[in-house]
Amino acid sequence: MKHIRNFCIIAHIDHGKSTLADRLIQACGGVTQRDFHDQMLDSMDIERERGITIKSNTVTLAYKTADGQEYLLNLIDTPGHVDFSHEVRRSLMACEGALIVVDASQGVEAQTVANLYLALEYDLTLLPVINKIDLPAADVDRVREEIDSDLGLDPFAAIPVSAKTGVGIDKVLAGIVDHLPPPKGDPNAPLKALVFDAHFDKFRGVILQCRVMEGTLKPRDVIHFMHSDHDYKVDELGYNQFKLVPKPQLSAGEVGYIVAGVKSVQDIEIGDTITLLDNPASEPIPGYQEAKQVVFSSVYPMSTDEYPDLAKALDKLAINDAALTYEKDSSAALGFGFRCGFLGLLHLDVVQERLQREFNLGLVISAPSVQYCLTLKDESTLNVDNPSNWPDPSNIESATEPYIKATIIIPEEFVGPVMELCREHRSESQTMNYLTADRVEITSEMPLGEVLFEFYGKLKMITRGYGSFDYTPIEYRPTDVVKVDILVNKEPVDAFSYLVHRDKARTRALHYCEQLAEAIPRHQFKIPIQGAIGGSIIARATIQPYRKDVTAKLYGGDVTRKKKLLEKQKKGKAKMKQFGSVNIPQEAFVSVLRAEKD
């Protein structure tokens, strides 16, 4: 066991975690040059294209030190984005140490700090790595100072590297062996293994990634999942070395895979503890947290006959994405669809993109919403995320909404506008902390719902891309939430209804009305577009009448051409959604609902 190291790499997004992982893999000879492609651990196309890590992956590397000692290094990759922080937690629980990567040109950022706190929560030993020293803008001394002042870690222990050129990689490997502790645990104790990841394989079913904490596991053992209370028989287990390498057993301290006839990742819970059915551990591994959906949105197919395809696509995605929830939903405007729960906005984006790209589906996605918790007059409680389930307001006694603690790190010059932005988004209690002379950390408690609407985009714009943002959910707090309907020609269009704080209702309604007024083509009559809370109108825009005579360009003569044009116009109209007497083209739904998110 003293020749095992279980570690992960944590970093702010884009600081080079995946590239560093690639170099470590290459340096250990874990993969032949021919099989090597960049970002080995990022397996999804979207991950590679966007350069972000979404799903964690794991690999066991064989490393020989300069004096000939052999080690097994288990590198557990972690996602870098806030939406997936529960995955980061699970990965951290499987490790004793972590490399904390900081970009030499950017310095410490919000997610570096957030990830550091998480790692400390799990008592990990940290080894700082300063990456991208090949860049002209690299400033290793300044980053050392930040590692000391912002992270409270030993600046002289930090290893300067370039994951791009490979400089310093040997020092990182030596550092892992020398500075990170080996695992502990008793191979003879009752089995306790942490499931920290799982993915679905067409041929083998679900492949579980596990860290054995105590005990020993062998093929044909019957395992018991302590939280979900399911039993399975182990078919095979072993190491992940880019392919699955079967082993006769996995014991305390080791990290590996298990194949046990699990059909879908929805059948198990990641973070669960596995024990043996006939010699169970008395308690599961502490620190289990369920993935919690915090952002909800309805997803409709662009054309109603694609609904069965959407259903199939979601089933397929869910096999591999335990955090995605979905249930049937319907809209008068858009037909049948699904109400989906996501971990955050990035998760929503990723699912949306995969549906469109991998399954070739055209989608209309409603405005994302958080979940409100209502206490009704009869003292019952109700959780609502979907405007169509909003109860009669006269029955509502009180409401609460989820709050987050946001951490924003920015250059000092942007403090004023960023504070203002936070206040506009209903921030409560902001604090400011100088990290260095010119970099400031603002922490602010604000409603999660406020971050879903225009916040990221504005923050990026105000700070010219230099601001970094992270958040953790804190608690539910009282709120005054209302349901706003958007009426087109006096008819409510359910796909546009939304839940919002009363103070924000009007601005957002105006935004919708104006966008819709642009997106809906003129008709032969005047069309009012209104925002309303119950019976009272709070915003309004108007589409002026217009009549398009498609045959105007034709003078006399050819009847068939005229007929053709009219036929074409008729087809165009058929494609539109009929609303009252107003046609709302599908593109209007897409453009208005999309504009909303940025």
Ligand X SMILES: Nc1nc2c(ncn2[C@@H]2O[C@H](COP(=O)(O)OP(=O)(O)OP(=O)(O)O)[C@@H](O)[C@H]2O)c(=O)[nH]1
Site for ligand X in 343-362 (CB under 6 A): none
Contact segment (CB under 6 A) with ligand X among 8-16, 227-235, 264-272, 350-358 equals: 8-16
CB-based burial label for 137 (10 Å; 0-12, 13-18, 19+): exposed
Q: Are 153 and 126 in contact (CB under 8 A)?
A: yes
Closest C-alpha among 308, 317, 359, 374 to residue 342: 317
- Residue 141 Cβ vs ligand X, minimum distance, rounded to whole Å: 17
Out of 74, 112, 162, 515, the residue judged to bind ligand X by CB under 6 A: 162
Contact segment (CB under 6 A) with ligand X among 127-135, 177-185, 252-260, 463-471 equals: 127-135
Helices and strands counted in the chain (H then E): 14, 33
Which structure tokens are listed for 386?
Answer: 């979907």
Site for ligand X in 303-322 (CB under 6 A): none
- Residue 115 Cβ vs ligand X, minimum distance, rounded to whole Å: 10
- Residue 101 Cβ vs ligand X, minimum distance, rounded to whole Å: 7
Out of 15, 425, 483, 597, the residue judged to bind ligand X by CB under 6 A: 15
Cβ neighbours, 10 Å, residue 405: 16
Query: Which CB, 134 or 412, lies closer to ligand X?
Result: 134
Does 88 bind ligand X (CB under 6 A)? Our answer is no
Query: Which CB, 41 or 318, lies closer to ligand X?
Result: 41
Question: CA–CA separation, 308 vs 158, rounded Å?
Answer: 54
Out of 3, 48, 86, 164, the residue judged to bind ligand X by CB under 6 A: 164
Alpha helices in 28-105 (DSSP H): 45-50, 85-93
Which structure tokens are listed for 36?
Answer: 């090597």
Task: Report which secondary-structure segment, H or E, holds 481.
Answer: strand 481-488
Q: Is 360 annotated as a binding residue?
A: no
Q: Is 18 annotated as a binding residue?
A: yes
Supply the Cα-derived Rg of the chain in whole angstroms.
Answer: 27
Query: Which CB, 16 or 301, lies closer to ligand X?
Result: 16
Q: Is 131 annotated as a binding residue?
A: yes
Question: CA–CA separation, 236 vs 565, rounded Å?
Answer: 66
Contact segment (CB under 6 A) with ligand X among 157-165, 392-400, 404-412, 589-597 equals: 157-165
Cβ neighbours, 10 Å, residue 581: 11
Q: Is 14 annotated as a binding residue?
A: yes
Out of 3, 14, 120, 325, the residue judged to bind ligand X by CB under 6 A: 14
Q: Is 207 annotated as a binding residue?
A: no
Does 16 bind ligand X (CB under 6 A)? Our answer is yes
Does 134 bind ligand X (CB under 6 A)? Our answer is yes
> Measured between alpha carbons, how far apart are the two ends of the chain, in Å?
49
Out of 10, 13, 92, 495, the residue judged to bind ligand X by CB under 6 A: 13
Nearest residue to ligand X, by Cβ distance, number only: 80
Out of 89, 132, 426, 597, the residue judged to bind ligand X by CB under 6 A: 132
Q: Is 38 annotated as a binding residue?
A: no
- Reduced to 3 states (helix: H, G, I; strand: E, B; else coil), residue 317 is helix
Query: Which CB, 19 or 369, lies closer to ligand X?
Result: 19
Does 18 bind ligand X (CB under 6 A)? Our answer is yes
Question: CA–CA separation, 82 vs 54, rounded Å?
Answer: 10
Does 333 bind ligand X (CB under 6 A)? Our answer is no
Residue with tokens 């942007």: 414
Q: Is 19 annotated as a binding residue?
A: yes
User: Per residue, what are the HEC states of 376-424?
Assistant: ECCCCEEEECCHHHCCCHHHEEEEEEEEEEEEEEEEHHHHHHHHHHHHH
Residue with tokens 């053709």: 564
Query: Which CB, 97 or 168, lies closer to ligand X?
Result: 168
Strand 468-479 to 491-492 pairing: unpaired
Out of 135, 311, 519, 533, the residue judged to bind ligand X by CB under 6 A: 135
- Residue 545 Cβ vs ligand X, minimum distance, rounded to whole Å: 50
Q: Is 247 annotated as a binding residue?
A: no
Which structure tokens are listed for 319?
Answer: 């096999």
Residue with tokens 């596990």: 210
Q: Are 165 and 134 in contact (CB under 8 A)?
A: yes
Query: Which CB, 52 or 318, lies closer to ligand X?
Result: 52
Which residues make up the interface to ligand X (CB under 6 A)?
11, 13-19, 51-53, 80, 131-132, 134-135, 162-164
Binding residues: 14-19, 131-134
Binding positions for GTP: 14-19, 131-134
